[in-house]
Amino acid sequence: MRSSEPSVDQFAKWKEEWEKAAHPVAVTGAGISVASGLPTLSAKWKGIELRDFFTYEMFVHKTDSFYQYYRHILQHWKQAKPNAAHAAFAKTGMPIITQNIDGLHQRAGSRHILEIHGNLLELLCGECKGIYQSDLVAEQRIPVCPRCKTVLKPNIVLVGEEIYHYGTAVDWVGSADLLLIVGTRLEMAPCQELPEISRRKGSPIIRINHDAEHILPLLLE
């Protein structure tokens, strides 16, 4: 096995926990999409760190620059394809709480998904709450809502905004008898509390930070 993969004994324990689980839930992060060619937030894109782009301040005060950068990112994100880790999850039909904004779980065939950071391929109107496809940025330098003419924002959680659906995420983890954490360390609030919910009820936790595209197809078969 690769150095980042679990030992034989560790994998055997994970396999046993997976096979016993009746209601597993997964939490996924950027690491699961690296094999699809997408960067993590610590990476740079066009000379700007992604975490510096994903800020509400940049959207409000540098809207034109924000959307120029968004177009560059969007073009690359649209070309990404689900990898074997996404496909392995889709075959199980299990609920997935994802921090990712790439939509790859859906494209792989998963249906029970909470996108707690939103979806980069959608635009949101903060006024009427309408949701539109990102194609509007090809027609307008700064896209506006077709109904109320408010400037649209990518339907993603920017730094400084509350994440989506957190109460539902807590409920899902609270009812799970196994928690898989894949491609994320869950170091940021409030998501760092999710593993604690599983620990308090005594549910097993499987953490896979790297090589999920190799490990999950074997683990979840």
Q: Which phi and psi angles does 94 have, rounded to 5°?
A: -75, 155
Distance (Å, whole) CA 170 – CA 192? 11
105 catalytic? Reply is: no
Q: Which phi and psi angles does 122 have, rounded to 5°?
A: -120, 155
Instruction: Write the secondary structure of the chain as one string of H (helix), E (strand) and C (coil).
Output: CCCCCCCHHHHHHHHHHHHHCCCEEEEECHHHHHHHCCCCCCCEECCEEHHHHCEHHHHHHCHHHHHHHHHHHHHHHHHCCCCHHHHHHHHHCCCEEECCCCCHHHHHCCCCEEECCEEEEEEECCCCCCEEEHHHHHCCCCCECCCCCCECEEEECCECCCCCCHHHHHHHHHHCCEEEEECCCCCCCCHHHHHHHHHHHCCCEEEECCCHHHHHHHHCC
Write down the catalytic residue from 86, 105, 117, 214: 117
Residue 96 burial (CB count, 10 A): 26
The residues annotated as belonging to the active site are 117
